[in-house]
Amino acid sequence: METLLELRYIRHAYGQQRVVNDLSFTLGKGAIGCLLGPSGCGKTTVLRCIAGFEPVSAGEILLNGAVISSSSVMIPPERRHIGMVFQDYALFPHLSVTDNIGFGLHSMQKDERSARIAEMLQTVGLADSAKKYPHQLSGGQQQRVALARALAPRPELLLLDEPFSNLDVSLRGRLSLEVRDILKSQNATAILVTHDQDEAFAIADEIGVMHHGEIQQWDTAYNLYHKPANRFVANFIGEGVFLPGKMLDQQQVEIELGTLAGDIPHQCAPDCQLCQKGNTVDVLIRPDDIVHDDASPVQAKVMQKAFRGADILYTLQLPGGSTALSLVPSHHNHAIGEKIGIRLEAEHVVAFSQAVP
């Protein structure tokens, strides 16, 4: 895939406070990337650097191979051909939906402009609301108008800053998938900033997990969940527990529930001293790694249960006393205090050195 955007070791500080540290990533044309991380990790600042609202003190940002930001270059935002969608929609309240969408299209001929507006109205499913004003629309509809307005001039890149955080959870889920379809239908390249991993998973092709101004791992959702590169990513993405394990060899580790074999644990790669037989590690066990099986001799006690509709998330006490989570189809409804049979069914072994905090 042809590269559209490239960040090379960019830095940014507010006064003495360094909030972006040597951060790099590339994004291909037509791809949807996401910066995901806890509040204050620097996601919005990176987005603002890409948009040209903040300078970089070191490193460079390239769009289509041309430097748009570096310590000596700062192309102004309006010359970057980058569109933005904000958390608060930022629609013009006195303009109709049509005029909001047409706002950035003044350089087009009248007919071309009308056609593009009609196309965008259709794309975001608001053809019936063309004459309405923003206050006559729901939050989800307003965000669709904002998306249509940003996409209408066919920007090289679209930046979305927490676009769904003002919407309720169920709408957020639906709109995330819809926005992905809209972006793909327009062949848009986009970067989303969010702290909500469900949103990131629903929309993005590639996700960069950020912490303290650095990208900890840039990967697919699948790999972030199943092959986290470090403890921060393992803890931040999904649910799970760490259980103590003993290395049997470089690819096998024994935990209380049995022996796990498979992928090489990240911090126990072949050149890692810790992989030597007998070393103790912490093994990440996800709720889907422990399955409920009445026939299993291993019995665990139900300590807590969280009903999630299709599934129940059980917090279990293992025979040895440690705690683990298990995601079980919700027709297996067990009471707190009950003992249930469980079996380990993990495909990916993720283990970290116990010495790492």
Ligand X SMILES: Nc1ncnc2c1ncn2[C@@H]1O[C@H](COP(=O)(O)OP(=O)(O)OP(=O)(O)O)[C@@H](O)[C@H]1O
Shortest Å distance, C-beta 55 to ligand X? 12
As measured in angstroms, the least distance from the Cβ of 211 to ligand X is 10
> Which is nearer to ligand X, 199 or 289 (by Cβ)?
199
What residue type is assigned to position 248 of the chain?
A: L
**7 contacts 61 by C-beta, under 8 angstroms:** yes
| Minimal distance, residue 187 CB to ligand X, in Å | 27
Contacting residues toward ligand X, per CB under 6 A: 14, 19, 37, 39-45, 195
40 or 125: whose CB is closer to ligand X?
40
Bridge partners (DSSP) of residue 33 are: 191, 206
How large is the C-alpha radius of gyration of the chain?
24
- Report the candidate in 87, 12, 21, 16 with the shortest Cα–Cα distance to residue 50: 12
Least Cβ distance, residue 38 to ligand X (angstroms): 7
Sole residue written with tokens 């791992």: 217
Shortest Å, Cβ 258 to ligand X: 40
In this complex, which beta carbon is closest to ligand X, that of residue 54 or of residue 206? 54
Question: With respect to ligand X, which residue has the nearer C-beta, 182 or 200?
Answer: 200
In terms of CB distance, is 209 or 268 closer to ligand X? 209
Distance of closest approach, residue 159 Cβ to ligand X, in angstroms: 12
Name the residue nearer to ligand X (CB basis): 46 or 243. 46
